[in-house]
A and B are shown apart, each in its own frame.
Chain A
Amino acid sequence: MFGEKALELIRELHRSTEGVLPPFNDEGIRQVLEEMRSLYEQNQADVSATVAGEQGLFSGVQLRHASLERDKRCLLAYLYNRLQKIRNMRWEFGSVLPADIKTNMSEQEVQWFTKYNKCLANYMRRLGDSGLDLTQDMQPPK
């Protein structure tokens, strides 16, 4: 069934415990993108055959399009939820992440993290007269 590889990426992230970032699954993402490419090509072929007068191909096109949307949703959710974990770690560990987490981040995630750090630092610097570190005192005072 289509969408199985994409779901495996999601399950892998779902199994990872809080505060742990699993290694970036490059190969899994590549396989899902490969499935999407072949689904799209098959749909292109069916649409051309329909234009040429062949009947009854619509259901296949519909099914493959639903699978394409599903694959896309799983890939984006995989990336998005990894970023959420990384962002939570920024608030927990500070602007320098532990080495074991950093090794599991992709190059693009490191770039994202650098930009996020900069945005957050710029924002905190503008608070109050001399700035305010929002990541301190996360628990309300007594």
Chain B
Amino acid sequence: MSLVEIPYTRYSSSSDNYYCIDDIIATCEKIPSKVEQPLFRLGFLDPSTDNTTIQPGTKLELPFWLASSLCTRRRRLVSVDMPKTYKDSFREILKADANVVDLHKIGPYYYSFGSKLLHFDHPEIGDIADSLLQGFISRFRRIMDSSQNAYNEDTTHLTCKLDESERCVFKAGQKGLDDFQRWQTGQTT
């Protein structure tokens, strides 16, 4: 199935697990939002005003967990825009050469948080979904190669630019290599 045919659906990834710590930390990433209705007695949300009411049109950075509750189909108290690192210019960089991008500094939950952005009704989410998929696929080979060939050495330089999901893949590759080496040397009992 070519990439274009993969129908992306509104999915809740398994990391939506209520108790998942990574998911809780990923959902506190900020989202550029714009107030659509007056928010009374919530002036503290907007550091740039002393007013107790936030007027429509005010731009705020809200954590995902709050923005996704205030911007739903039924009720749009705020509207959201995509974060810079998921916008067109950044997607171009990822497309040009995904392997040079430091997703840990930008993320570290780049894919997990990007997947959550698909919950919103936004014109760019189709392109974002493709970009996440393409970026992961482009980087996957190098992650697997490096994790399968780094035995008993410091791997910091191999993982420092990886996002959390990629580090899990790297760790799985390392465990497979370690198990195989132990089996080969008869250490597995």
Judged by CB atoms under 8 Å, the answer to whether A and B touch is: yes
> Which residues of A come within 8 Å of B, CB atoms?
1-3, 7, 10-11, 13-14, 42, 46, 56-57, 59-60, 62-63, 65-67, 69-70, 73-74, 76-77, 80-81, 139-142
Main secondary structure of the interface of B (DSSP, over half): loop
CB-contact partner of A60 in B21, B28, B40, B186, under 8 A: B40
- Nearest CB on A from B46, distance (A): 11
- Nearest CB on B from A65, distance (A): 8
Given contacts A13-B21, A62-B75, A139-B189, contact A57 B28 (CB under 8 A): no
> Which residues of B come within 8 Å of A, CB atoms?
18-22, 24-25, 28, 37-42, 45, 63, 65-66, 69-70, 75, 77, 186, 188-189
Residues of B within 8 A of A81 (CB): 19, 21
| Residue pair B21, A14 in contact (C-beta under 8 Å) | yes
Residues of B within 8 A of A3 (CB): 28, 63, 65-66
Residues of A within 8 A of B42 (CB): 59-60, 63
Q: Considering the chains assembled together, what is the distance between the CA atoms of A42 and B45 in angstroms?
A: 16
- Sort A-B residue pairs by CB-CB distance and give the 5 closest, nearest first: A66-B69, A80-B19, A77-B19, A59-B77, A59-B39
- Nearest CB on A from B62, distance (A): 8
Q: Considering the chains assembled together, what is the distance between the CA atoms of A73 and B69 in angstroms?
A: 14
Q: Considering the chains assembled together, what is the distance between the CA atoms of A141 and B183 in angstroms?
A: 11
Residues of B within 8 A of A142 (CB): 186, 188-189
- Select from chain A the residue with minimum beta-carbon distance to B45: A1
| Residue pair A62, B69 in contact (C-beta under 8 Å) | yes
CB-contact partner of A57 in B41, B65, B70, B77, under 8 A: B41
Main secondary structure of the interface of A (DSSP, over half): helix
| Residue pair B77, A67 in contact (C-beta under 8 Å) | no
| Residue pair A7, B24 in contact (C-beta under 8 Å) | yes
CB-contact partner of A56 in B40, B65, B189, under 8 A: B40
Residues of A within 8 A of B25 (CB): 7, 10-11, 14
| Residue pair B77, A62 in contact (C-beta under 8 Å) | yes
Q: Considering the chains assembled together, what is the distance between the CA atoms of A56 and B36 in angstroms?
A: 12
Residues of B within 8 A of A67 (CB): 66
- Nearest CB on B from A72, distance (A): 10
Residues of B within 8 A of A13 (CB): 21
Residues of A within 8 A of B65 (CB): 3, 66, 70
Q: Considering the chains assembled together, what is the distance between the CA atoms of A81 and B124 in angstroms?
A: 36
CB-contact partner of A73 in B18, B66, B186, under 8 A: B18
